Amino acid sequence: MAERVKGVRDFLGKEAVARQATLDKIKESFSIFGFEPVETPVLEYLSLFTGKSGQEIESQLYSFSDKKGEKLALRPEHTISKLRVISTNKSLPKPFKGYSIGNVWRYEDTAKGRYREFIQADIDVYGSSEVAYDAEVLACIDFTLKRLGIIGYKIHVNNRKILQDMLDSLEVPFDTGLQVLRELDKIDKVGKEKVLVNISALIGKDKAEGIEKFIDGSNKVGGKGKSETDELMRYLKEYGIDNAVVDNALVRGLAYYDGNIFEFIMDGVNYGTIASGGRYDRLSNNFEVEMPMVGCSIGFERVMDIILSNSKNDEFTEQYCVLNVDNPEMALKIVQRLRSKNVKSDILLGDYSLSKGLDYCNSKKIRYAIIVGNRDLKLGDVTLRDLLKKEEKKIKIEEL
């Protein structure tokens, strides 16, 4: 028996259809906001990732040597690959708004419910440091999620400069500060009390209490990071977004982000973060260019979990299926006529009974069956059966 590779999945039937429909709607939503597609290969030189993110990332990659001995890797994300393309296209008009949607691969621990192959759907703006584009990115993701029928989330906002100013105010050394932020990033997983115990072990109880006051909002930090976050929140109000909150405990991408950071987090359910991103102006320096950037990625697999959990297994699709009773030639002509009008139409071919044809439609949740038989055809009719309402009527062929 052929086994599936660990950490990857197969999709069939309604789930596969739902995934494709969701991807189509995401692409359409990104395009509505003026983002253009950026396509990159799934294979890159291994050095592209280890050189930009450090050798330690190799343990998370699917890497190998090809027949000529070249060290290659499957892309673990879109960000670095897109940067390779954008940074080498000097004539590209800026700011450039691009999106990438496709499979990525990471060697994850599947015991944690993670997958080793999954889809990322990213948008990025290249070439502008304006906070207004941070808001544009957030507004696009918010618009997309709502078009997918996803509600009940908040947009959590913070700024890496604020976090650094907080550490500086407590006189925490830079390297130790990174460890503190890594602990702070675990609050959702292990709770604030455990995180503060770990932070106390790093910097002492007094300074840990200062961080606790910062998290709770009683210890304020000003500076450029605060002004950038305030400006972002003002822009979001202009977009009509009222579910954004400043979250002093939010920590993201210590190796990437250097400005505003944000996460879309579902309220009171197990899905957690469904989209995330931030500003990463300095990352372009690794490609020897100066190019401010901001972006956000939708967690497609989590979004699909929500969509599928909200859908009902007994829902019919607005689709047609042509069933032949005793005139297969006319059945083929009718289905071709429907398809020429861009009507989603199936046809059951071969020798079968009408009851078997209707069973087929019911099993696939196809709402409408067009029954083609000589008795009706003599009058220029076919029978249209609505399997949801369990009703049927005669209809003229030309009215189809």
- Tell whether 32 is covered by a domain: yes
Pair (305, 322) in one structural domain:
no
The domain of 342 spans 317-399
Pair (128, 221) in one structural domain:
yes
Q: How far is CA 158 from the centre of its chain?
A: 21
Pair (298, 329) in one structural domain:
no
The whole-number pLDDT of residue 149 equals 94
Residue finishing a domain among 287, 310, 333: 310
Question: Is there a contact between 177 and 165 (Cβ–Cβ < 8 Å)?
Answer: no
* Euclidean distance between CA atoms 156 and 272, whole angstroms: 12
Give the number of other Cβ atoms within 10 Å of residue 170's Cβ. Answer: 19
* Euclidean distance between CA atoms 394 and 391, whole angstroms: 11
Report mean pLDDT in 10-residue bins for the chain, 400 residues.
Answer: 87 90 97 97 93 68 93 93 91 94 90 84 96 98 96 94 88 86 83 85 85 79 89 97 92 85 86 92 88 95 90 81 93 94 92 92 92 93 94 90
Pair (30, 100) in one structural domain:
yes
275: closest CA among 108, 137, 136? 137
Residue finishing a domain among 261, 277, 310: 310
Task: Count structural domains, the chain.
Answer: 2
- Tell whether 2 is covered by a domain: no
CATH of the domain at 376: 3.40.50.800
The token pair at 368 is 């409408």
* Euclidean distance between CA atoms 374 and 229, whole angstroms: 71
Pair (174, 88) in one structural domain:
yes
Pair (173, 255) in one structural domain:
yes
- Tell whether 356 is covered by a domain: yes
Pair (349, 255) in one structural domain:
no
- Tell whether 167 is covered by a domain: yes
Report phi then psi at 96, rounded to 5: -110, 130
Preceding amide of 95 cis, omega within 30: yes
- Tell whether 27 is covered by a domain: yes
CATH of the domain at 306: 3.30.930.10
Report phi then psi at 89, rounded to 5: -105, 80
Q: Which helix (H) or strand (E) holds 338?
A: helix 328-340
> Angle at the Cα of 217 (from 213 to 221), degrees rounded to 5?
90
Pair (182, 284) in one structural domain:
yes
In order, the DSSP letters of 122-145 are EEEEES---HHHHHHHHHHHHHHH
Question: Is there a contact between 290 and 313 (Cβ–Cβ < 8 Å)?
Answer: no
- Tell whether 153 is covered by a domain: yes
Residue finishing a domain among 310, 345, 364: 310
Pair (168, 276) in one structural domain:
yes
Burial of 229 (0-12, 13-18, 19+ CB in 10 A): buried
- Tell whether 342 is covered by a domain: yes
Pair (252, 271) in one structural domain:
yes
Pair (81, 207) in one structural domain:
yes
- Tell whether 106 is covered by a domain: yes
- What's the DSSP call for residue 5? P
Pair (137, 182) in one structural domain:
yes
* Euclidean distance between CA atoms 291 and 89, whole angstroms: 12
